[in-house]
């Protein structure tokens, strides 16, 4: 077998009338310009080669093809376009077989759907995840997938972006055969040989109609999907996906492809695509920190959790779900029993939903131990403290850990705001102390801030990242300051919201604006959910160090003084009727606001939704820029990932720093300077923002530095 193709990323070998076209573009065989050119050239040559009877397309390494090269989106297009490559493959008058292992996603699956037959190993991941990037399958996928699997299945795959396994893909008609061994090239060749032996016809997907024959059923599936999409406001591409499938039903294949092209281009040019692609790369980039490059994580299997409250119980569940062994320490037997029951309740909920069996629960809980004695942590590899947010209590806990834990054990705190350097310096082994800041509910929320105090050793930080990976969380490295990345920025935009409230906006208007922006809930709804007492305690703690000249809005404190902490007390900013989760605006809040405005000498004014939004976002971006400049966040993208994964910032807007880039930094700075005329202390432009505007740069330029 002699290599014949010129392009090294696509290698062609011909043996015994069967050509093997192998894509080798690490790490995931994305369809870069070179790969598209290589495929085009390979098919042009092979189609003219009379010796070739069948062509097998496959990928080298761990995947078939993970899709279009996402890095090329937004750059000037280079020929050949992927749809043209797909059409060329489909038009081939040699039998074309896609031999799939690993990921056949997006454009990768579209290549496979353009082949005449498909074979896959059982573990293959088959899907059209473009929706996650603000796109739709733009190389014929919206036309070919319904022609093979019908509208309902194609819509499900394209709107969810999920991966199907080979068995499901076979059932749906997306593949024809499951390989029996993992040698996918050999399997593809063997399958090609059997098809040739059987005289299998060339079967072009674009000419298939059987799956669409029952038009009424197809239309019903499209209508149902359209209704579903309409309910989920915000995203641009899902409705376009439905339009494409409608075109697959109504239009001849070539016209359907043209419709798809037009709608794909609209998606490609949308800011949502830019935001979502940014987050795709950012969530991978955050896993790389100086410490993960320089040090190896310490091994861990046994983890201690101190405190069985809201966070301790959630953290314990997260650890147990990852297969780790957990020992929970509480103050006394009653508190321990409560902590253990919180953990058990999560699994009972899973059983009630049919997601877990009693035996499954028992097997998980066999790895869960409890004690009121720290001595039970003698062999723990990692200990995570989640006791009351009080420096004295934390230091007492760490003194015990210092006493009982084995040398090399990682000692972590889940503190939200406290100075972790102070905690670290209180023990004899500050090099082992790190912050692991989980978010509530800790078994669900994906973000894990890994807070890096001054004396911690690199392998402890690397262990934090390894733990995040084990728990399937998104780690973000943060420096020590009051609130780290997320809570520090939250405090500032929350303050901007309070100022707008005192100046005339109602909290319900602000929540509505924030929801319309794309958050699942507004800041006042969030406060009611988390418990108003949490923020109250923080404000009280900070009172002593607050700048006496800084504006302070007392409204939230007034609610807390009445014991209105939100959902858990039946009322806060909203009133919650027993048994309901959603609240109605609390009418008793209005007079409190009016009274505070009067006390502050404020004449209330009205704000448009846009005005509210600009202040809210400007406060967030300005503080984000300060956090980056101080090195608390490594790059702007770390702020983006923190706010998207921990605070509900809409992913499709890319995070606050990316969003600021898309709006334009001069605009954001001009807003801040205008607001500063009212309150120069609060609205001090971040020097980094000023510098970037002066240099004509954006935040993204720092991500690439």
Residues in touch with ligand 3HC (CB under 6 A): 27-28, 30, 63, 66-71, 82, 103, 105-107, 110, 129-130, 133, 135, 137-139, 141, 281, 284
Angle of the 141-160 helix axis to the 237-250 helix axis, nearest 10: 140
> Tokens at residue 378, please?
């003698």
List the single partner that 387 binds among ligand 3HC, ligand NAI, none, CB under 5 to 8 Å by kind.
ligand NAI
List the single partner that 138 binds among ligand NAI, ligand 3HC, none, CB under 5 to 8 Å by kind.
ligand 3HC
In terms of residues, how long is the chain? 705
The count of other CB atoms within 10 Å of the CB of residue 533 is 17
85: exposed, middle or buried (C-beta count within 10 Å: 0-12, 13-18, 19+)?
A: buried
- The nearer residue to ligand NAI, 238 or 483, going by C-beta atoms, is 483
If binding is defined by CB under 6 A, does position 309 make contact with ligand NAI?
yes
Question: What distance, in Å, lies between the first and last C-alpha atoms of the chain?
Answer: 45
Q: Whose CA is closest to 140, among 238, 31, 257?
A: 257
List the single partner that 329 binds among ligand NAI, ligand 3HC, none, CB under 5 to 8 Å by kind.
ligand NAI
If binding is defined by CB under 6 A, does position 327 make contact with ligand NAI?
no
If binding is defined by CB under 6 A, does position 307 make contact with ligand NAI?
yes
Q: Which of 52, 153, 386, 474 binds ligand NAI (CB under 6 A)?
A: 386
- The nearer residue to ligand NAI, 263 or 329, going by C-beta atoms, is 329
- The nearer residue to ligand 3HC, 133 or 189, going by C-beta atoms, is 133
* 295 and 462 Cβ atoms separated by less than 8 Å: yes
Residue 358 appears among annotated catalytic residues = no
Q: Whose CA is closest to 703, among 647, 651, 657?
A: 657
Q: Which of 415, 527, 586, 698 binds ligand NAI (CB under 6 A)?
A: 415
Q: Whose CA is closest to 532, among 486, 485, 586?
A: 586
- The nearer residue to ligand NAI, 133 or 386, going by C-beta atoms, is 386
CB-based contacts of 100: which residues, under 8 Å, 6+ apart? 58, 64, 112, 118, 119, 120, 121, 124, 126, 166, 175, 184
> Measured from the CB of residue 291, what is the shortest distance to ligand 3HC in angstroms?
17
> Measured from the CB of residue 646, what is the shortest distance to ligand NAI in angstroms?
9
Q: What is the 3-state secondary structure (H, E, C) of 480-546?
A: CCCCCCHHHHHHHHHHHHHHHHHHCCCHHHHHHHHHHHCCCCCHHHHHHHHCHHHHHHHHHHHHCCC
The count of other CB atoms within 10 Å of the CB of residue 86 is 27
> Measured from the CB of residue 404, what is the shortest distance to ligand 3HC in angstroms?
38
Q: Is 648 left (phi over 0), alpha (psi -120 to 50) or beta?
A: left
Angle of the 656-663 helix axis to the 636-647 helix axis, nearest 10: 120
> Tokens at residue 539, please?
């404000």
- The nearer residue to ligand NAI, 308 or 453, going by C-beta atoms, is 308
Which range in 309-317, 502-510, 612-620, 633-641 contacts ligand NAI by CB under 6 A?
Answer: 309-317
If binding is defined by CB under 6 A, does position 642 make contact with ligand NAI?
no
- The nearer residue to ligand NAI, 89 or 420, going by C-beta atoms, is 420
Q: Which of 289, 340, 414, 642 binds ligand NAI (CB under 6 A)?
A: 414
- The nearer residue to ligand NAI, 208 or 310, going by C-beta atoms, is 310
Q: How far is CA 153 from CA 22, 187, 361, 625, in A?
A: 29, 27, 33, 44
> Measured from the CB of residue 85, what is the shortest distance to ligand 3HC in angstroms?
10
> Is the link from the previous residue into 441 a cis peptide, with omega within 30 of 0?
yes
Residue 110 appears among annotated catalytic residues = yes
Q: Which residue is nearest to ligand NAI (CB)?
A: 309
If binding is defined by CB under 6 A, does position 371 make contact with ligand NAI?
no
- The nearer residue to ligand 3HC, 100 or 139, going by C-beta atoms, is 139
Q: Which of 7, 221, 397, 612 binds ligand NAI (CB under 6 A)?
A: 397
**Helix, strand, or coil (residue 589):** helix
If binding is defined by CB under 6 A, does position 389 make contact with ligand NAI?
yes
As a dihedral over the C-alpha atoms of residue 271, residue 79, residue 4, residue 64, rounded to 10 degrees, the angle is: 20
- The nearer residue to ligand NAI, 401 or 672, going by C-beta atoms, is 401
Which range in 240-248, 310-318, 489-497, 594-602 contacts ligand NAI by CB under 6 A?
Answer: 310-318
Q: Which residues, listed in sequence order, are joined to residue 370 by a DSSP beta bridge?
A: 328
List the single partner that 66 binds among ligand 3HC, ligand NAI, none, CB under 5 to 8 Å by kind.
ligand 3HC
**Helix, strand, or coil (residue 45):** helix
Catalytic residue among 130, 330, 400, 502: 130
* 551 and 496 Cβ atoms separated by less than 8 Å: no
79: exposed, middle or buried (C-beta count within 10 Å: 0-12, 13-18, 19+)?
A: exposed
List the single partner that 424 binds among ligand 3HC, ligand NAI, none, CB under 5 to 8 Å by kind.
none
How many residues of this chain bind ligand NAI (CB under 6 A)?
25
> Measured from the CB of residue 704, what is the shortest distance to ligand 3HC in angstroms?
13
Q: Which of 225, 326, 329, 637 binds ligand NAI (CB under 6 A)?
A: 329
Q: Which residues, listed in sequence order, are joined to residue 519 by a DSSP beta bridge?
A: none
List the single partner that 30 binds among ligand NAI, ligand 3HC, none, CB under 5 to 8 Å by kind.
ligand 3HC
If binding is defined by CB under 6 A, does position 416 make contact with ligand NAI?
yes
Q: Sketch the per residue contact string, 109 through 138, with ligand NAI: x for CB under 6 A, - otherwise.
A: ------------------------------
Residues 434-473 that bind ligand NAI (CB under 6 A): 438-440
Q: What is the DSSP string of 331-375?
A: SSHHHHHHHHHHHHHHHHHHHHTTSS-HHHHHHHHTTEEEES-GG
> Is the link from the previous residue into 80 a cis peptide, with omega within 30 of 0?
yes
Q: Which residue has the tokens 């996603």?
A: 105
The count of other CB atoms within 10 Å of the CB of residue 270 is 18
- The nearer residue to ligand 3HC, 130 or 596, going by C-beta atoms, is 130
> Measured from the CB of residue 39, what is the shortest distance to ligand 3HC in angstroms?
14
- The nearer residue to ligand NAI, 438 or 493, going by C-beta atoms, is 438
If binding is defined by CB under 6 A, does position 542 make contact with ligand NAI?
no
List the single partner that 70 binds among ligand 3HC, ligand NAI, none, CB under 5 to 8 Å by kind.
ligand 3HC
> Tokens at residue 683, please?
């609205």
d(CA 564, CA 6) in angstroms, rounded, equals: 72
* Backbone φ and ψ of 354, nearest 5°: 80, 15
Catalytic residue among 110, 400, 449, 525: 110
If binding is defined by CB under 6 A, does position 482 make contact with ligand NAI?
no
* Backbone φ and ψ of 300, nearest 5°: -145, 145
> Measured from the CB of residue 525, what is the shortest distance to ligand NAI in angstroms?
15
d(CA 614, CA 664) in angstroms, rounded, equals: 12
Residues 501-530 that bind ligand NAI (CB under 6 A): 530
If binding is defined by CB under 6 A, does position 330 make contact with ligand NAI?
yes
If binding is defined by CB under 6 A, does position 310 make contact with ligand NAI?
yes
d(CA 11, CA 3) in angstroms, rounded, equals: 6
DSSP state of 196: H
DSSP state of 631: T
- The nearer residue to ligand NAI, 167 or 403, going by C-beta atoms, is 403
If binding is defined by CB under 6 A, does position 306 make contact with ligand NAI?
yes
* 122 and 171 Cβ atoms separated by less than 8 Å: no
- List the catalytic residues: 110, 130
Q: Which residues bind ligand NAI (CB under 6 A)?
A: 306-312, 329-331, 335, 339, 386-389, 393, 397, 414-416, 438-440, 530
């Amino acid at each position: 077998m002699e290599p014949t193709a010129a392009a090294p990323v696509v290698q062609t070998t011909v043996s015994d009338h069967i050509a093997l076209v192998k894509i080798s573009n690490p790490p995931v065989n994305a369809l870069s310009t070179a790969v598209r050119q290589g495929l085009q050239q390979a098919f042009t040559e092979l189609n003219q080669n009379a010796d070739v009877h069948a062509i097998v397309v496959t990928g080298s390494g761990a995947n078939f093809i993970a899709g279009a090269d996402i890095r090329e989106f937004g750059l000037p297009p280079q020929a050949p376009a992927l749809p043209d490559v797909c059409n060329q493959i489909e038009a081939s008058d040699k039998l074309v077989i896609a031999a799939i292992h690993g990921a056949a996603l997006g454009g990768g699956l579209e290549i496979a759907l353009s082949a005449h037959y498909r074979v896959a190993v059982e573990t293959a991941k088959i899907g059209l995840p473009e929706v996650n990037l603000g796109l739709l399958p733009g190389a014929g996928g919206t036309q070919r997938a319904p022609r093979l699997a019908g509208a309902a299945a194609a819509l499900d795959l394209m709107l969810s972006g999920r991966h199907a396994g080979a068995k499901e893909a076979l059932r749906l008609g997306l593949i024809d055969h499951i390989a029996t061994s993992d040698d996918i090239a050999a399997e593809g060749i063997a399958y090609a040989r059997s098809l040739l032996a059987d005289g299998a016809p060339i079967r072009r997907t674009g000419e298939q109609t059987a799956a669409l024959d029952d038009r009424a059923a197809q239309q019903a599936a499209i209508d149902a999907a359209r209704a579903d999409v309409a309910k989920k406001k915000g995203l641009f591409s899902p409705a376009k996906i439905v339009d494409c499938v409608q075109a697959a039903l109504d239009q001849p294949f070539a016209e359907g492809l043209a419709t798809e092209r037009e709608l794909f281009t609209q998606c490609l040019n949308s800011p949502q695509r830019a935001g979502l692609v940014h987050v795709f790369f950012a969530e991978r980039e955050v896993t790389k920190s100086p410490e993960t490059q320089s040090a190896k994580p310490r091994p861990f299997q046994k983890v201690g959790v101190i405190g069985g409250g809201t966070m301790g119980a959630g953290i314990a569940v997260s650890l147990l779900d990852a297969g780790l062994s957990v020992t929970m320490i509480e103050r006394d037997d009653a508190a321990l029993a409560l902590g253990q029951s919180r953990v058990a309740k999560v699994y009972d909920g899973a059983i009630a939903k049919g997601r877990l069996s009693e035996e499954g629960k028992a097997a998980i809980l066999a790895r869960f131990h409890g004690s009121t004695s720290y001595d039970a942590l003698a062999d723990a590899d990692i200990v995570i403290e989640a006791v009351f947010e009080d420096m004295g209590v934390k230091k007492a806990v760490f003194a015990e850990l210092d006493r009982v834990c084995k040398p090399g054990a990682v000692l972590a705190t889940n503190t939200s705001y406290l100075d972790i350097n102070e905690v670290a310096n209180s023990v004899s082994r500050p090099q082992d102390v790190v912050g692991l800041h989980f978010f509530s509910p800790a078994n669900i929320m994906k973000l894990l801030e890994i807070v890096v105090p001054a004396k911690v050793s690199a392998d402890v930080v690397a262990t934090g990242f390894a733990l995040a990976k084990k728990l399937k969380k998104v780690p973000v490295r943060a420096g020590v300051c009051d609130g780290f990345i997320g809570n520090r920025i939250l405090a500032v935009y929350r303050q901007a919201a309070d100022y707008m409230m005192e100046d005339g906006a109602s909290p319900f208007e602000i929540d509505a604006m924030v929801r319309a922006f794309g958050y699942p809930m507004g800041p006042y709804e969030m406060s009611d959910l988390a418990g108003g007492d949490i923020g109250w305690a923080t404000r009280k703690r900070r009172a002593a160090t607050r700048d006496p000249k800084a504006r302070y809005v007392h409204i939230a404190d007034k609610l807390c003084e009445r014991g209105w902490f939100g959902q858990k007390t039946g009322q806060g900013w909203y009133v919650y009727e027993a048994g309901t989760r959603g609240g109605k605006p609390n009418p008793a809040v209005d007079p409190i606001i009016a009274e505070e405005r009067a006390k502050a000498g404020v004449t209330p004014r009205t704000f448009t939704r846009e005005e509210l939004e600009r202040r809210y976002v400007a406060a967030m971006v300005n503080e984000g820029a300060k956090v980056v400049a101080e090195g608390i966040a490594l790059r702007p993208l770390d702020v983006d990932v923190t706010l998207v994964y921990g605070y509900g910032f809409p992913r499709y807007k890319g995070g606050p720093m990316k969003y600021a880039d898309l709006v334009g930094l001069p605009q954001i700075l001009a807003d801040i300077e205008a607001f500063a005329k009212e309150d120069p202390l609060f609205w001090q432009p971040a020097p980094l923002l000023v510098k970037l505007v002066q240099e004509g740069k954006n935040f993204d330029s720092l991500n690439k530095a």
